[in-house]
A and B are shown apart, each in its own frame.
Chain A
Amino acid sequence: MLEARLEQAGVLKKVVDAIRDLVQDINFDCNDSGIALQAMDNSHVALVSMLLKSEGFSPYRLDRNIALGINLTSLTKVLRCAQNEDILTLKAEDTPDTLSLIFENAENDRISEYELKLMDIDQEHLGIPETEYAAAISMPSAEFQRICRDLIQLSDSVTIEASKEGVKFSCSGDIGSGSVTLRQQNNVDKPDLSTKIELTEPVTLTFSLKYLVNFCKASALSSVVTLSLSNEVPLLVEYAMGSGFVRFYLAPKIGE
């Protein structure tokens, strides 16, 4: 059986909010590392990979690996019944038909218990190769969100150009064109507001803004986002949490 207790229900709520517009039916793969998921969107353009590490739960008990087939719209409905500050316990049997979600308030005088019906989801898992990226840009997640939301007003796609001078996001559409350039800067007082660029070679790639705007729903999970790019490979957008991560992969657009 699985028993996993999370100090803050808000963490799972934010994770689900971040991915539920991209993927609908998913498996939570529970193993010794923690609770993981990997799923592609219907068009096979974007992939989400998430891990809530077992260390992030206290306790984390698992007798054997199990996959919990979940409809995220249904899970969202149940998670709405939890306060962000509630303690959340997930429980499931070894061959589960349902997932139990128990919410307790911090004062320990309210306990809510919900059962979510599980589904059989036949999910294809992709092998994501270890990649040495040519450029890794870490920046405030709110800044990345603002840039994507601004540029999508002008165009469907954005060209990201990373060089040692900085990172330039540019787009061009029917009404005109626009760009935002961020220079590398180190904010000593507030490291989360720094923009850092690690570069082995300059990179220029074009991506669909619709997906990037969607990924930015994970901004609530982390104040910092890391964009990893190499020419002609999918972009990696990572939101790191205290004990886990949400990663998005997006295939580039090619040709003009």
Chain B
Amino acid sequence: PADQESLLSYFGKR
């Protein structure tokens, strides 16, 4: 099955 990515790897904390 495909792995679910986290949004944190795309959007940086401001």
Contacts and interface: CB of A to CB of B under 8 A. Distances in A.
Interface residues of B, number: 14
B5 A256 contact: no
Interface in A95-154: 124-129
Nearest to B9: A251
B11 to A, nearest CB: 4
B3 to A, nearest CB: 5
A208 interface: yes
Interface of B: 1-14
Contact of B2 (A124, A129, A249, A253): A253
B14 A125 contact: yes
A46 interface: yes
User: Which label, helix, strand, loop or mixed, suits the secondary structure of the A interface?
Assistant: loop
B1 to A, nearest CB: 8
Interface of A: 40, 43-47, 124-129, 156-157, 206, 208, 233-234, 249, 251-256
Given A126-B7, A251-B9, 18 more contacts: A43-B6, A45-B6, A124-B13, A126-B11, A126-B12, A126-B13, A127-B12, A127-B13, A127-B14, A156-B1, A157-B2, A234-B7, A234-B10, A249-B7, A251-B5, A251-B7, A252-B5, A255-B2
A45 B2 contact: no
A255 B2 CA distance: 5
8 contacts: A44-B7, A47-B11, A127-B12, A127-B14, A157-B2, A234-B10, A251-B4, A251-B6
A253 B12 contact: no
A254 B2 contact: yes
A254 B5 contact: yes
B4 A125 contact: no
The 7 closest A-B pairs by CB, nearest first: A253-B2, A126-B11, A251-B5, A125-B14, A127-B14, A44-B6, A251-B7
A252 B2 CA distance: 9
A45 B4 contact: yes
Nearest to A129: B11
Given A125-B13, A126-B13, A127-B12, A45 B7 contact: yes
Contacts of B3: 253-255
